A and B are shown apart, each in its own frame.
Chain A
């Protein structure tokens, strides 16, 4: 047999040499920061249960320059996650039909943003007020 199929291995920089794949890895990477923020919130709940002093020191830590920086980074990645996730939801759901016509993908995406904005507003009003 003279066949000798050649396998080109996946290069270790596979996700850096292609913009589409780089964005994908960043999107996946947001899970780290979303997870981190979830840990911060979890920590807050534990502190709350430990009493006023613990809670105050938790809030102080969050307000510190480090604390704000970390939260901003997490917010940035969480927003990126949300935007990219909303962008792909039309693919992740069975086709939506209204009166026999498929709803265009961009309307589904916009719908998600509208709903998000409404819920965020509601939360801000209830809790901020």
Chain B
């Protein structure tokens, strides 16, 4: 098996991965970066983010205000030192991106424009029309082409981290176009592999978001933090789950139930007027809006569609000109995928799984507890998002923590001992044997069947509202699914571009990650942010102002151990999350 020796390996070439690669190239030009991605970089899911990236630049805004909005949005579960560092670094990163050519939308005077976004008291969301993630990703990718020291390995699917003497020493990956396995040896590895929305059947997430990096770190002994916190985006298209940006509400869009009533006022987000008003009504935080939908559905006030119940996102009053200027993609998506023109009709929308607040346990410098291993972006949990993420914080997060992970990795390279190549090769060959076993086995379990069963249990039992009985059932089912997965069948035994192999391996990652989600949810007997329990409806700071930590117990029919880790509180003691009229 080939062993490629390099300085830093970055797994994942989305916003965080590319930003990290560029940071290494600029700050430590003598180092070589191997940038691995299971897809060509422009296909990374950062591309689908629409609304924008938050950063304080306008007068009338301040780091303290961004901090406060983020902490209360997180239901006080975010680590305050990290959030402080984040809000201070965000504007710089966004300006840097602008210098790299990102086509941020502008005010009439040529300065960068910002718009309102959910849960934020002040306008601070930089946006590039309604394709901010697309422009951010392409700007980063194109900028990365400046640096020959960034060696790209496109369409390499990483399977296992290599760990020697308690340090991460590299990764094994499958070169998809040939099917051969390659070992990468490095003194620092950065995971930037994104979230795991695909464990749910209805999600805004693309097919590639299967939590591979989370699972790799998890299996290498790194805990997954706060996995029970899964964000539902309030406005996805029914059926496909296609994202309709929060920006549509930032521009003034309204949510109505089947009676045309702006129902959010019944859930502590009102009064409905004056409108628009930040942090109120349709600009409330995502968890509250998704939970309001659930209640409306229970009351029978949602609109039935061929793809399930929905509420109505009304943009008609914005007028055709404003829609074409600020929300052109929203119009195109609604027309193409549900045949609705938002200029003339309201768009049916419903909450869909969107973002994984939880992830690989990292600290304020993007370091995991495993020396030599770092993580950034959605796959990581610092935590700056806590129990609920505010929209437009995650694009900024990829930049801030991508850069931080790079700086930490550069330091690790300087300080780490030499790597024993023979040990690396031995481990890599063991990893290869596990992959090859799939080609030789006579498994009887069908991967699509297991995947469907996974989606069903997550949707039904680990959804917007949870409770003890259904969580217990979910945990049992997941143990059984993981046990069945040890006998999964690989149907395609070819070498070149074996996408069945990729999907089977992705399924393994999803099962591990989903189990961490369900088990962590079961242990948290309180309601906080996006983790809402019918049996424990109140927030319990005395017992649960802590992060959950899920520790891997092995393949097959095992369960992870769920521990706890304190939250860093500096200057914002836990308070009540107040939105609506009271929030101003």
Which chain A residues have a beta carbon within 8 Å of chain B's beta carbons? Answer: 1-4
Contacts and interface: CB of A to CB of B under 8 A. Distances in A.
Given A1-B180, A2-B178, A3-B177, 5 more contacts: A1-B178, A2-B179, A2-B496, A3-B496, A4-B496
Nearest to B495: A2
6 contacts: A1-B178, A1-B180, A2-B178, A2-B179, A3-B178, A4-B496
Nearest to B175: A3
Interface in B452-467: none
Nearest to A3: B178
A4 B179 CA distance: 12
Interface residues of B toward A: which range? under 10
Contacts, number: 10
B324 to A, nearest CB: 14
A1 B182 CA distance: 13
Interface string B161-200: 0000000000000000111100000000000000000000
Contacts of A3: 177-178, 496
Contacts of B495: 2
A4 B178 CA distance: 9
A59 B180 CA distance: 77
Contacts of B496: 2-4
Interface string B33-50: 000000000000000000
B20 to A, nearest CB: 30
B421 to A, nearest CB: 24
Interface in B476-496: 495-496
Contacts of A4: 496
Nearest to B178: A3
B180 to A, nearest CB: 8
Contacts of B177: 3
Nearest to B177: A3
A2 B177 CA distance: 9
A3 B495 CA distance: 8
A3 to B, nearest CB: 5
A1 B496 CA distance: 9
A64 B177 CA distance: 67
A4 B495 CA distance: 11
B157 to A, nearest CB: 16
A7 to B, nearest CB: 15
A72 to B, nearest CB: 47
**What 5 A-B pairs have minimum CB-CB distances, sorted nearest first?**
A2-B495, A3-B178, A2-B496, A3-B177, A1-B178
Contacts of B178: 1-3
A3 B175 CA distance: 11
